[in-house]
Structure 1
């Protein structure tokens, strides 16, 4: 007699799971493309020499003017100083003040009157740095972390590059004027975005007032007040905003006014950087924030005609035609005004009809541009995430994870796979449950002779 064999439940579950993971991962790139930004409504004239509005969650640039142009940052440099301190020291660590740290700052620059040989904790020093922009405190923290102020400046430039801030160079921890000390609005925004991952930074930023108690050399307390007017209602109640959660001010004669601001509303986080301002810096920051919060996010969709491309066979391989499966490199959203309809979005693709034989998994195959009417919303890279040969699909995890949308690349296709896979998994588990109950019923009958129904 021939015995019928069936797949075990664990094996079927494994097959279902393998079906699910065959769909490409949808994940946003850490540094999305920033070639194009939407044009704000109406009169959006701003006098500042450079500014930028960034989505704090995705890192996408929403709007900018001279966002990658080098400018003098002034005291917003201290955000990078703060980042390195948080990454290298504990809040309870001590920070001693050398003669060089205290005496090397110019007369008239921001300070809290620290003395040579005096000691603060890191927590106290960071409050002085962030609230009062104390330059001698920045020097002391630099010596504590980097050994010397020069060594710390090298650490700053290196850490900035690691974040993608490649157009910056730092020679001090406080931002005092120097021709070789420069950054960009985009680079500063990247630093601010990285700081959002440190809860203690946001905690300190929420303090309008902080008092440093007596130290080893000072018997009186030092009272510190938040200088950023959008953060402190006692500074200027007409400018204070409830949605602003962090920021840093800056000013030198070389830089003009500079300002970094982070705001959060209804789950959205925005970062603004304004450089080279001669006035109205808070009003211009508010204009950027209000514009950003008025926009509606929508996910980009890869056009059906751009979901795949044939590729030339390599001369070193068998002459077998291959088809490249394509996806968007990043899932960072597009931004529309509240009164604009999704149906108004159009796309233009720049993809060769046949890909070169040298193109591999994870490589950029072309670009797709998104427009609303004649207005360019964004440009996205299209990448290869898998191949189809002889009717078989081969996906590779060795390349870049696609972030766009298509079936095998679209959000619709991925959702369909998940839905079908989830339904199959549910049926398999239910069948297993019923089979188990039937076995229980069988043995109960063997033991008691009673007939009982179990569900």
Structure 2
């Protein structure tokens, strides 16, 4: 009888596994029960960003959503798309590019430490655009794209459609143009796509980088997201953004409790709010507890 029961359990196991709900882990405990284990989260996190989305990539479900369908300016979050189309074009990363007056911001007159005549490789410009959100670096990348800035922006919009970002539009490569708009849902799709690019992983999570352009004093640039320097975070992709129309923004692909999660925070008022909200999200996810339903077979 005991042997027959064992055989029956082996035959039923695949069927029971197939019936498990998405995101449910099935394990056997010592008592011979099948256990459906899912994470149970406490009440919603108290986030101060006007728009927020927490998306569990493993379970492919939203854990928290706040105005996630609102179409709003996205500022320098734009640069993730700029980087993707530059990398898709497979342009030589060691090609030298010189900053020119055409890379200056005439829309908002933002400050930059990059000067006319500074010559860096395309790879270094990509690093600065992603890590320190350097606008002149992003502008130079678009200007030297095959067909120029207009072609680069057109390709950014084309790729957005390919990724299913139907409520997104780009008007420039830096994000200074407030007509660069999207939704939190769309940006989650962009972050998921971006995390498959090794250089985007590397550059968006680099803490700092020293630039040594011939004829100019060395300059050290830092990451605009202080969380990449925090050992308690496991971040794959990070990008900040800010213009008045967008507020302070932050998107990340990270692992929290060994789960891949996308965090989108838009229109955060206050200099430290987006980082504070990200920390609140992490603590909220770490406070999740397994919820089990044991069934005796």
Instruction: Give the TM-score normalised by structure 2.
Output: 0.77
* Residues 110, 63 of structure 1: alpha-carbon distance in 2 compared, 3 angstrom cutoff: farther
- Cα offset for 1:176? 0.8
Aligned residues: 256
Which residue of structure 1 lines up, in the alignment, with residue 268 of structure 2? 277
Matches within 5 A, 1:343-422: none
Take 2:60 and 2:71, find their aligned partners in 1: how far apart are those partners? Answer: 19
Take 1:103 and 1:254, find their aligned partners in 2: how far apart are those partners? Answer: 16
The one of the two structures with greater contact order (alpha-carbon pairs below 8 A, sep at least 6) is: 2
Which residue of structure 1 lines up, in the alignment, with residue 163 of structure 2? 163
Instruction: Give the TM-score normalised by structure 1.
Output: 0.52
Deviation per CA, 1:1-42, whole angstroms, max 9, x where unpaired?
xxxxxxxxxxxxxxxxxxxxxxx9xxx9xxxxxxxxx99523
- Cα offset for 1:76? 1.2
Which residue of structure 2 lines up, in the alignment, with residue 104 of structure 1? 106
Q: Unaligned regions of 5+ residues in structure 1, if any? A: 1-23, 29-37, 234-239, 296-337, 345-455
Which residue of structure 1 lines up, in the alignment, with residue 291 of structure 2? 340
Contact 2:41 2:287 in 1 (8 A): no
- Cα offset for 1:103? 5.3
SS of structure 1 residue aligned to 2:113: coil
Q: Report whether the alignment pairs 1:95 with 2:97.
A: yes
Q: Unaligned regions of 5+ residues in structure 2, if any? A: 1-17, 23-38
Which residue of structure 2 lines up, in the alignment, with residue 114 of structure 1? 115
Take 1:293 and 1:270, find their aligned partners in 2: how far apart are those partners? Answer: 12
- Cα offset for 1:151? 2.5
SS of structure 2 residue aligned to 1:189: helix
- Cα offset for 1:146? 4.7
Q: Report whether the alignment pairs 1:68 with 2:61.
A: no
Take 2:150 and 2:40, find their aligned partners in 1: how far apart are those partners? Answer: 41
Greater Rg by CA: 1
Q: 1:259 aligns with which of 232, 238, 250?
A: 250
- Cα offset for 1:130? 1.5
RMSD: 2.7
Deviation per CA, 1:199-255, whole angstroms, max 9, x where unpaired?
22222234212111123xx3322211112011135xxxxxx6432343111111111
- Cα offset for 1:59? 4.6
Deviation per CA, 1:283-334, whole angstroms, max 9, x where unpaired?
2112223334555xxxxxxxxxxxxxxxxxxxxxxxxxxxxxxxxxxxxxxx
SS of structure 1 residue aligned to 2:260: strand
Deviation per CA, 1:39-75, whole angstroms, max 9, x where unpaired?
9523633232211112245653332112121111111
Contact 1:39 1:63 in 2 (8 A): no
* Residues 206, 258 of structure 1: alpha-carbon distance in 2 compared, 3 angstrom cutoff: closer
